[in-house]
Amino acid sequence: MIDLVCGGQAGDEGKGKIAAYLSYKGNYEYCVRVGGPNAGHTVVQDGVSYTLKNIPSGFLNPKTKLVLGAGAYTKTEWLLDEVKKTNTQDRLIIDPYAVLITDEQTGAERGASHFMNHIGSVGTGLGQAVKERIERRDIKFAKDEPLLKDFIQDVPELLNRSLDKGGDILLEGTQGIKLSLLHGEYPFVTSRDTTASTFLGEAGLGPKSVRDVYVVFKPYITRVGPGPLEHEMTDEKELEIYHTKGHEIGSVSKRLRRVGKFEKRSASRAIMINNCTKIAITHIDMFPGNDRVKREEDFTPEAKAFLANLRALSAEVYPHPKIALISTGPDMEDTLVL
């Protein structure tokens, strides 16, 4: 069966950590990533931190094979650099139609003030590559790169054969509902839809084999670029705590993230549109006194009130997901299972 990890806010909810945890503890045959290298997923194990722009966060489980679907965009040198750092050359599989962003595409995006200033693009070239793909230009696919030839396989065939034999797949999405091209806050969005059904299509999977859809939330929202943020924090001292203790600095863009209060409306839409069955919460330790708490009873009243409010919201929104995972610190092991 397929489990999915989706973002419930404006990206950077901690999908990387949740995907890493699930994959480390679970028995997934494949961990699949789609989307672009504008999304940095951070995974910390035993104090060692990895920021992944290409490789699925499930790489920590040595038994899991790592897959980039046809809806993945990467850059050859960035990918190969990560493969080396994560020592994953023996278990990486790439769809022939995953896109390789060229230096020209990166340059074109970085030179376009519409992308960089108006939308606040990360500048990886993803938007430019998507644009050229839609225009049916002569873009570069993974199948065209000799350095990647050993990794190329028919991904839809492989994944669906695994499902047929009872295998499990973890599909790691990117960004969050507020950045969806379809359901987000246009035009301050990324160049793709960022919800569960699209992630499935981008991997070559259908909806019938989905078991759980995890949607990840923080108790607050961050945004690296322009666009709406309800109740944005402006107090410098308060913001500094998020930028230091909360590590709220863009993992790819390196920009200081804007911070706002938890938004009920976008949370409801994330639950609804993703058909969320399980909620994962990260950064609960940003409420003082909740670092590495091991039992729900031991959370502070502030954290407990947040959880109660989220449960009340979920009771009102189909399909009424349960809170399933709470991350209480940066390390993969700092995770409470409810």
Q: What CA–CA distance (Å, rounded) separates 208 from 202?
A: 15
* 198 lies in the site for ligand IMP, by CB under 6 A: no
Exposed / middle / buried, residue 47 (Cβ in 10 Å: 0-12, 13-18, 19+) = exposed
Between residue 233 and residue 272, which ones bind Mg ion under the rule CB under 5 A?
251
Between residue 35 and residue 54, which ones bind ligand IMP under the rule CB under 6 A?
38-39
Q: Which is nearer to Mg ion, 179 or 200 (CB)?
A: 179
* 35 lies in the site for Mg ion, by CB under 5 A: no
Which 3-state string (H, E, C) describes 43-58?
Answer: EEECCEEEEECCCCHH
Tell me the number of residues near Mg ion by CB under 5 A: 3
Contact range with Mg ion by CB under 5 A, out of 7-15, 70-78, 106-114, 227-235:
7-15
Number of other CB atoms surrounding residue 81 within 10 Å: 13
Tell me the number of residues near ligand IMP by CB under 6 A: 19
Q: Which is nearer to ligand IMP, 9 or 64 (CB)?
A: 9
> Which residues contact residue 106 at a Cβ distance below 8 angstroms, ignoring those fewer than 6 apart?
75, 123, 124, 125, 128
Per DSSP bridges, beta strands 48-52 and 2-7 are unpaired
Q: Catalytic pick from 3, 41, 283, 285?
A: 41
Q: How far is the CB of 163 from ligand IMP (least distance, A)?
A: 28
Q: Which of ligand IMP, Mg ion, none has residue 96 at its interface (CB below 5 to 8 Å by kind)?
A: none
Q: Which is nearer to ligand IMP, 147 or 182 (CB)?
A: 182
Active site residue 12: yes
**Torsion 251-255-256-259 (CA) sign:** negative
State the alpha helices, DSSP H only, in the chain: 15-25, 76-86, 103-110, 113, 126-134, 155-164, 196-203, 236-244, 264-274, 301-316
- The two three-digit tokens of residue 332, written as one number: 């993969």
Between residue 242 and residue 261, which ones bind ligand IMP under the rule CB under 6 A?
253
Per DSSP bridges, beta strands 99-100 and 220-223 are unpaired
* Residue 121 phi, psi dihedral angles, 5° rounding: -60, 155
Between residue 107 and residue 146, which ones bind ligand IMP under the rule CB under 6 A?
119-122, 126-127
* 12 lies in the site for ligand IMP, by CB under 6 A: yes
* 173 lies in the site for Mg ion, by CB under 5 A: no
Q: Which is nearer to ligand IMP, 120 or 228 (CB)?
A: 120
Fill in the amino acid letter for 179: L
Q: Which is nearer to ligand IMP, 151 or 188 (CB)?
A: 188
- Of 271, 246, 268, whose CA–CA distance to 256 is shortest? 246
* 201 lies in the site for ligand IMP, by CB under 6 A: no
- The two three-digit tokens of residue 13, written as one number: 């909810």
Q: Which of Mg ion, ligand IMP, none has residue 229 at its interface (CB below 5 to 8 Å by kind)?
A: none
> Which residues contact residue 232 at a Cβ distance below 8 angstroms, ignoring those fewer than 6 apart?
258, 259, 260
Sole binder of Mg ion in the list 40, 56, 71, 329 (CB under 5 A):
40
Q: Which of Mg ion, ligand IMP, none has residue 175 at its interface (CB below 5 to 8 Å by kind)?
A: ligand IMP
**Which residues carry out catalysis?**
12, 41
- Residues within the interface to Mg ion (CB under 5 A): 12, 40, 251
- Residues within the interface to ligand IMP (CB under 6 A): 11-12, 38-39, 119-122, 126-127, 174-175, 179, 188, 190-191, 224-225, 253
